[in-house]
Structure 1
Amino acid sequence: MVAVTSRDRGEDAHVAPLRWNGIDPGGARLVVNEDPVDLLRTAVDVLVRSGFVDGGDAYANAIRQLGSEWVVRDVRLGDIKQSRKRSVLEFFAEGTGLEFFPRFWRGATPTLVVAAARSLGDASELVVYPHYSTRGGSYANDAAPLLRGAVTEITDLYRSRNRLVSSEKLLSIKNDGSPASQAVVREVLGWR
């Protein structure tokens, strides 16, 4: 599981040994009776409370300048350099008993999660999808438990307000020009 404490959030998150995060990347698509801007704000608030950090305005501004119908925000977990460094520490600590001390936990796999919303007329569509970096020191879906919890919280929130029209899990996402797709994330942010 991802260790998320007041010190270990977002890019500073560390991962404890002996963890199992499952194989599901945890992406989701929801249709909600809500304004897309408010829907996106709620989704990002939940993601940040779950342990991610807001990625700033760069991606949102770039998507806006492209004239997209989507409003978008990215949140992040892990850091590429820290992940590499912590993987080396974890390697040397393995088998010594030290790997169970937080100081020796590896940095979380760098993950960028895109939350994108757009109007569908009477309702809005929200897509939340993770992109794991191959540049980090390890490749695991460390963000999966946090993302699953956040998606469940968002779904339950709108269901309790009787505003949820539909929800579905996304095991993959098409490169169809959506700001949540890998092709757009790679082209606009250079994320790999």
Structure 2
Amino acid sequence: MLQRFVNETDIDVIMLAGRYTLLEQGAATELLPACLEHDVAVVNVGVFNSGLLSKNRPAADATYNYKAAPRELLDRANQLADICLAHGATLPAAAVAFPYQHPAVTRVVLGMRTPEQVQQNLDLVAHVIAHVSSSGRALVGLIDWATSGEERRLYASPEARTEAIAALAALPREELLAEVRDRLRQ
């Protein structure tokens, strides 16, 4: 139905719930390309897939689409958690960051019910901002290295990178944003 609205009406934005996530990319085939073609922004919601991706490791009794998650989906979520852990990230942070890889997605809205979940989501967003900022700096360094031939490593080790991102993400919101703005000016 969303695809029909995108193709047949003059709308500016749609809200896409749970159909473009780490576990489900059904919207990537037709809907998101149609949004790009018709200049329709996508607000992506439900990125935790009913909570399945909201913790570092999915619980054995996790739900998906508001019922017990099938075993194969739990296995896939656990594989994603392993990949995140191996790269110094968390499953929830990857779930929040993933939708932004598609240019039609302009916003991600996170669901929450408790003050603890509000704080967790604020922390996740700070971590994603820190990752993106650090990745941007690393990319600039690689471009400099490629053009000058002079090796310029941003971090001494993968552990040092993980520590630097964690330190950046731990800054109070205003300091984090100021730091990212300063890095953009460099």
TM-score normalised over the length of structure 2: 0.27
Pair member with larger Rg: 2
**Comparing both structures, which one devotes a greater share of its residues to helix?**
2
Higher relative contact order (CA 8 A, sep 6+): 1
**Comparing both structures, which one devotes a greater share of its residues to strand?**
1
